[in-house]
């Protein structure tokens, strides 16, 4: 079983739609969680961190469910510019400091 699993998509949604991605992780002792965004043929970049209490950044909301070992990302009012691959990232249990990436979920927003 992979350490971090995501639905590869693609998710094809119209502008203005709300879309949600989930990600599951296998190690219950994992310590930190993040969402990264990767545009086609570019390097990944941090989108947001994920906290147990949930966090919001504009149209983006991330949540963590430790009991079920999954992370979610909600995008409201989708824009064409949101089209990208969204990568779920986990830092494993201490003392490791390495980041493990999911395979990514591709989002395509159409007019």
| Positions that interact with another protein (CB under 8 A) | 8, 32, 34, 36, 42-46, 49, 87, 89, 91, 97-104
Q: Please check whether residue 110 is in contact with residue 15, taking contact to mean a CB–CB distance below 8 angstroms.
A: yes
Q: Which is nearer to another protein, 10 or 16 (CB)?
A: 10
| 62, 50 Cβ separation under 8 angstroms | yes
Whether 33 and 90 have beta carbons less than 8 Å apart is answered as yes
- Cα–Cα nearest to 34, from 44, 21, 47: 47
Minimum CB distance to another protein, residue 6 (Å): 8
Rank residues 51 and 110 by Cβ distance to another protein and give the closer one.
51
Is 35 buried (19+), middle (13-18) or exposed (0-12) by CB count in 10 A? buried
Q: How far is the CB of 107 from another protein (least distance, A)?
A: 15
In angstroms, give the least distance from the CB of 77 to another protein. 26
Taking the least distance from each CB to another protein, the nearer of 11 and 36 is 36
Q: Looking up tokens 């990767």, which residue turns up?
A: 38
Nearer residue to another protein within complex by CB, 13 or 44: 44
């Amino acid at each position: 079983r992979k350490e971090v699993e995501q639905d590869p998509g693609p998710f094809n949604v119209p502008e203005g739609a709300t879309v949600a991605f989930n990600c599951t992780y296998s190690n219950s002792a994992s310590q930190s969680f993040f969402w990264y965004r990767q545009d086609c043929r570019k390097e990944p970049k941090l989108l947001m961190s994920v906290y147990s209490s949930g966090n919001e950044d504009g149209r983006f909301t991330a949540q963590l469910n430790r009991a079920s070992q999954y992370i979610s990302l909600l995008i409201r009012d989708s824009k064409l510019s949101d089209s990208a691959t969204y990568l779920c990232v986990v830092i494993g249990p201490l003392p490791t400091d390495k980041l493990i990436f999911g395979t990514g979920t591709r989002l395509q927003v159409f007019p």
